[in-house]
Structure 1
């Protein structure tokens, strides 16, 4: 099954997003990584790389990020890791929920799960 990694500048935000997505798809490997190495606001490429390993069930990992430097550190972590992983250009909460529900299906692939996350860009909330 495709795994998901949520990367946020806040560990609490990442954990909350994973908590919400897990309500919709409890069988999917959902991992949260957030904050800098000192527990403050920020991101850390080494922690993201470890999160990739944790989220990978053997079919790859879709990575969802919140802001600019999270993207840069996630790209670096993907390059460093041996895990097959792709970044999704999606809103982090809605994209994670969409991707988790999709990944729970038996026909989900790494690319189709990323596509499901990215479909959240056009979702209307009203």
Structure 2
């Protein structure tokens, strides 16, 4: 079965690693990729890291990007523009931990990108 892939974007690599650990306690099949910190693993975000994580998480059902702070959203949107995919969405104004968990659960049930995004937006 194909699943909506999930990319977790944070200014801190440790934040997204911890969120993925929480998700993996109950959901194993859904692709969850990380784009935390800069290329030097400093605090910040990286369009290149987001693009690479998106490529790894991508499936025919698409990818949902979740982020922590506003500048991460800008880099997520730029990564979408630079990608070759048309089935990528950004979950805007969603709490990262709760949103990522709900996205993984919904994706694990085989739902579409639009359905996963709708569920996340209710968080």
Pick the TM interval, shorter chain. Answer: over 0.9
Tell me whether 1:97 sits opposite 2:108 in the alignment: no
In the alignment, which residue of structure 2 is the partner of 1:72?
A: 74
Gaps of 5+ in 1: 121-126
In the alignment, which residue of structure 2 is the partner of 1:123?
A: none
Write out aligned runs for 1:1-126 (5 A): 1-83=3-85, 84-89=87-92, 90-106=94-110, 108-120=111-123
Deviations 1:31-52 (A, max 9, x none): 1111112210000001101110
Cα RMSD for the two superposed structures: 1.0
How far does residue 15 in structure 1 lie from its aligned partner after superposition? Answer: 1.1
Number of residue pairs matched by the alignment: 119
Deviations 1:62-103 (A, max 9, x none): 000000110000000011111321001211000000110010
Q: Tell me, in whole angstroms, the C-alpha distance in 1 between the residues paired with 2:65 and 2:56.
A: 12
Distance 1:115 1:24, change over 3 A: farther
Q: Secondary structure at the match of 1:93?
A: helix
Deviant stretches of 4+, over 2 Å: none
Gaps of 5+ in 2: none
TM-score (norm 2): 0.92
TM-score (norm 1): 0.90
